[in-house]
Amino acid sequence: MLYRLRVSLPDRPGSLARVTQLLGAAGADVMQMTVLEQLGGRAVDEFTVSWAGERDVAGLVPILERSAGVRVEGCWAAGEVPGSAPELDVLGQVARDPGRAVATLVDAAPTLFHADWAVATRGGRGRQRVYASWRAPRTPVLPALTPMRPLGFAYEGDATGHGAAAPIGASWLTMYVVRHEGPAFHRTELDRLGRIVDVALGVLGERGAAKATGAGVRPGPA
């Protein structure tokens, strides 16, 4: 099974190698590593690892934290590992089928951000669901947000959930991405979400973006 680990560690030579060595010695295969932050002598990295067997993956936390200065900020189940250029794959799909641009972004978001589901809605407090990804609840508990830029929030549908919300153009559309486990969305993830949406709309052009975010987008699955 695949898991995602967010690890804070000293930003000095050998620290990253030590973490990967500890993961390997514990039986975890590192499938992917992402740098989220390097600031003030520390780094925040995320690892996607393959963990076989019946052992509790939470057992990795004390193993890693035995290394000086290492702190595990989150550990949660992950879906598939994105390819080497997942954003380009998504943008290619948007360019090939502009009418499904919103649906493409929503369907891709859970994989891109190691989340559980995503949904696009329209309006303020009386939000209308425009499209939802697989595994999205029929009536998700979402804050009434119309953000000017991507922002994070605590998901009220469960005690451990976190979400990110991003505007989709000037259309009163908002995309929500939610994960039920793991840490809050990092600011690097929020910036990345905003860039993906902005570039997708740029690929479509002004008229194409207006059409893609209009009323013609099909409703999400019931």
What are the structural domains, with CATH classification, of the chain?
2-77 (3.30.70.260), 86-212 (3.30.450.40)
Per-residue pLDDT of the chain in tens (222 residues, 90 and over written 9): 899 999 999 999 999 999 999 999 999 999 999 999 999 999 999 999 998 867 788 889 999 999 999 999 999 988 777 676 788 899 999 999 988 999 999 999 999 999 999 999 987 666 788 999 999 998 888 888 888 899 999 998 888 899 999 998 877 889 999 999 999 999 999 999 999 999 998 888 766 766 776 634 444 443
Give 174's strand partners. Answer: 121, 167
Contact 115, 178 (CB under 8 A): yes
Asked whether the beta carbons of 217 and 122 are under 8 A apart, the reply is no
Whole-number CA gyration radius for the chain: 18
Output the 3-class SS for 132-200.
ECCCCCCCCCCCCCCCCCCEEEECCCCCCCEEEEEECCCCCEEEEEEECCCCCCCHHHHHHHHHHHHHH
Which residue reads 């999205």 in tokens?
A: 136
